[in-house]
C-alpha cells in the first residue's frame, strides 16, 4: 500500500512531539500487528515500512509443516500450513520455511482499524512517558524550579514543566517557607519513580544537597569548579555549615561565597527562607580542618589526633566553650557531620584540671 499522506503525518509527529522516526514506526508496526490479529485471528505477520517508496507492506506468515499433521514442536508464534496447501501458492516451498502472502491493509475491518489506532496511541503515550521519565531521572539529586499552582493543608502543588506536576509536602518544607500561588520556587529532586500514569517526581527543600545546588546555582566560582564544596552539614531551617576550598591560589574561597557586602550569601539565605549559613575553610591539615570547622569559636589547639579512628580533642578558651559547642550542641554536631571527624571539646580550665598538655 502506497501512502504518502501517512509518511507526511509521521514526519509531523516527529517534529511536533519530539519523537524519533524509529519510535513512531515501531508503534505503528505494533498497531498493524494488532489490526492483523483482529482481522485474521492470529498474529503471524510481518510489517515492512519503506520510507523511500512511501510504502507500507504487510505479509501473512505461515509455517510449512508436513501433510501428516501439525508440528507440535514448531515455533508457536506462527500459524501452520500443510505442505500440499502451501505448494498451491508457491510450488517450490519446503517444510520448515515460511510462506508469506501480501495482505492489503484495506481488507482490515473497521474494528481492526480502530484497534490499530488504539495500539498506536497507546504506544505513543508510552514513548512520551518514557521520555519524561528519562528527562526527570537525569535531574534526580539536582535542583529544579517549580511553579506553585495550588495548596492545601498538607501540600503545595507544583508545576515542573513538560506538563508534569508534583506535590511538595509541607513536612519537606523549611519552617519559614510560605509560598503563594503563581510563585516560582527552588526544590531538590530526591527521587524519580515510573508509575502507570507517568513519572512521579519526589521533591524536598530539606536535603543537605539542596544547599550545595544553591551554591552551584548562585556562585559562579562554585559552578565553574574554582571553589569546591568539600563538606556540608545541616539542621534544615535553622543552620547549615559548609566547608569550602579554592582550587586557584588567586581566589578566596570564603570571599567568593560571601560576595561583595555579603550579597551572595544573603541570596542563599533568602533562598533558604532565613536559614543561617556558616562557612569555614577546608584544609588537608587535620588540625586546621578541625579548628576551622568549629568556627565561629577560636580554637587554641587540636591534640590527640587519631587518624585511623578520626578522633581529636579541641582546646578552647573558657569563654569560648559554649560557642564551640553551640546551643544544644549544634555547632560541634554540624562540624562533626561536615568533616567526618569525632571532636571532643574542652576548655583551658578543664584541660588544666585533667593534666592535659596542650
- For the chain, what are the domain ranges? 4-132, 145-204, 207-282, 294-358
Query: How far is Cα 201 from Cα 132, in angstroms, rounded to an integer?
Result: 10
Question: Could you tell me the pLDDT band of residue 1, with boundaries at 50, 70 and 90?
Answer: low
Q: Is the dihedral of CA 130, 133, 139, 143 positive or negative?
A: positive
Residue range 106-165, pLDDT digits in tens: 777 677 677 777 777 888 888 889 989 999 999 999 999 999 999 999 999 999 998 899
* Interacting residues of 271 by C-beta distance below 8 A, sequence separation 6+: 186, 214, 218
* Average pLDDT of every residue of the chain: 91
> Is 10 a residue whose pLDDT tops 80?
no
Q: Confidence band (pLDDT; 50, 70, 90) for 217?
A: very high
CATH topology of domain 145-204: OB fold (Dihydrolipoamide Acetyltransferase, E2P) (2.40.50)
Beta strands 276-281 and 311-316, pairing class: unpaired
Task: Determine whether domain 207-282 maps to CATH 3.30.300.20.
Answer: yes
- The answer, yes or no, to whether residue 50 has pLDDT greater than 90, is no
Q: In the numeric block, which cell numbers belong to residue 325? A: 559547642
Residue 166 contacts residue 201 (beta carbons within 8 Å): yes
Percent of the chain exceeding pLDDT 90 equals 70
CA distance 332 to 148: 37
pLDDT confidence tier of residue 227, bands split at 50, 70 and 90? very high
CATH topology of domain 4-132: N Utilization Substance Protein A; Chain:P; domain 4 (3.30.1480)
Q: Is the pLDDT of residue 331 over 80?
A: yes
Q: Quick check: helix, strand or coil at residue 52?
A: coil
pLDDT at 146: 97
Task: Compute the average pLDDT of residues 45-64.
Answer: 88
C-alpha cell at 131: 521520555
- Yes or no: domain 294-358 corresponds to CATH 3.30.465.10: no
What's the CA gap between 206 and 234, in Å, rounded?
9
* Per-residue confidence band for 312, with pLDDT thresholds at 50, 70 and 90: very high
Residue 288 has pLDDT above 90, yes or no: yes
Asked if domains 207-282 and 294-358 share a fold, the reply is yes
The residues that bridge with 41 in the sheet, in sequence order, are: none
Return the pLDDT at 265.
97
Is the confidence at residue 228, as pLDDT, over 90?
yes
pTM of the entire predicted model: 0.77
**Structure-derived torsion over alpha carbons of residues 58, 64, 69, 72, reported in degrees to the nearest 10:** -80
Furthest C-alpha separation in the chain: 109
Amino acid at each position: 500500500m502506497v501512502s504518502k499522506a501517512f509518511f507526511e503525518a509521521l514526519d509531523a509527529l516527529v517534529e511536533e512531539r519530539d519523537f524519533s522516526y524509529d519510535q513512531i514506526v515501531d508503534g505503528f508496526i505494533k498497531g498493524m500487528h494488532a489490526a492483523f490479529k483482529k482481522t485474521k485471528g492470529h498474529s503471524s505477520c510481518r510489517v515492512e515500512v519503506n520510507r523511500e517508496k512511501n510504502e507500507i507492506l504487510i505479509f501473512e506468515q505461515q509455517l510449512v509443516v508436513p501433510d501428516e499433521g501439525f508440528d507440535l514442536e514448531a515455533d508457536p508464534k506462527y500459524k501452520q500450513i500443510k505442505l500440499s496447501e502451501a505448494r498451491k501458492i508457491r510450488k517450490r516451498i519446503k517444510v520448515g520455511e515460511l510462506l508469506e502472502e501480501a495482505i492489503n491493509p484495506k481488507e482490515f475491518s473497521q474494528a481492526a482499524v480502530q484497534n490499530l489506532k488504539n495500539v498506536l496511541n497507546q504506544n505513543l503515550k508510552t514513548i512520551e512517558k518514557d521520555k519524561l521519565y528519562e528527562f526527570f531521572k537525569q535531574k534526580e539529586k539536582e535542583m529544579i524550579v517549580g511553579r506553585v499552582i495550588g495548596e492545601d493543608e498538607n501540600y503545595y502543588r507544583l508545576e515542573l514543566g513538560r506538563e508534569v506536576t508534583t506535590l511538595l509536602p509541607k513536612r519537606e518544607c523549611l519552617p519559614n517557607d510560605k509560598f503563594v500561588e503563581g510563585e516560582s520556587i527552588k526544590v531538590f529532586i530526591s527521587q524519580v519513580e515510573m508509575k502507570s500514569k507517568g513519572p512521579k517526581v519526589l521533591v524536598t527543600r530539606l536535603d543537605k544537597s539542596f544547599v550545595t545546588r544553591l551554591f552551584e546555582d548562585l556562585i559562579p566560582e562554585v559552578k565553574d569548579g574554582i571553589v569546591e564544596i568539600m563538606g556540608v552539614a545541616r539542621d534544615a531551617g535553622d543552620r547549615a555549615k559548609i566547608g569550602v576550598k579554592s582550587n586557584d591560589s588567586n581566589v578566596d574561597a570564603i570571599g567568593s561565597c560571601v560576595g561583595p557586602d555579603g550579597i551572595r550569601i544573603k541570596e542563599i539565605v533568602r533562598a533558604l527562607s532565613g536559614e543561617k549559613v556558616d562557612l569555614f575553610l577546608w584544609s588537608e591539615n587535620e588540625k586546621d580542618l578541625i579548628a576551622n570547622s568549629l568556627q565561629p569559636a577560636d580554637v587554641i589547639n587540636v591534640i590527640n589526633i587519631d587518624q585511623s579512628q578520626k578522633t581529636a580533642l579541641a582546646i578552647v578558651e573558657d569563654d569560648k566553650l559554649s560557642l564551640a559547642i553551640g546551643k544544644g550542641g549544634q555547632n560541634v554536631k554540624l562540624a562533626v557531620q561536615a568533616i567526618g571527624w569525632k571532636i571532643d571539646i574542652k576548655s583551658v580550665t578543664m584541660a588544666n584540671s585533667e593534666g592535659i598538655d596542650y
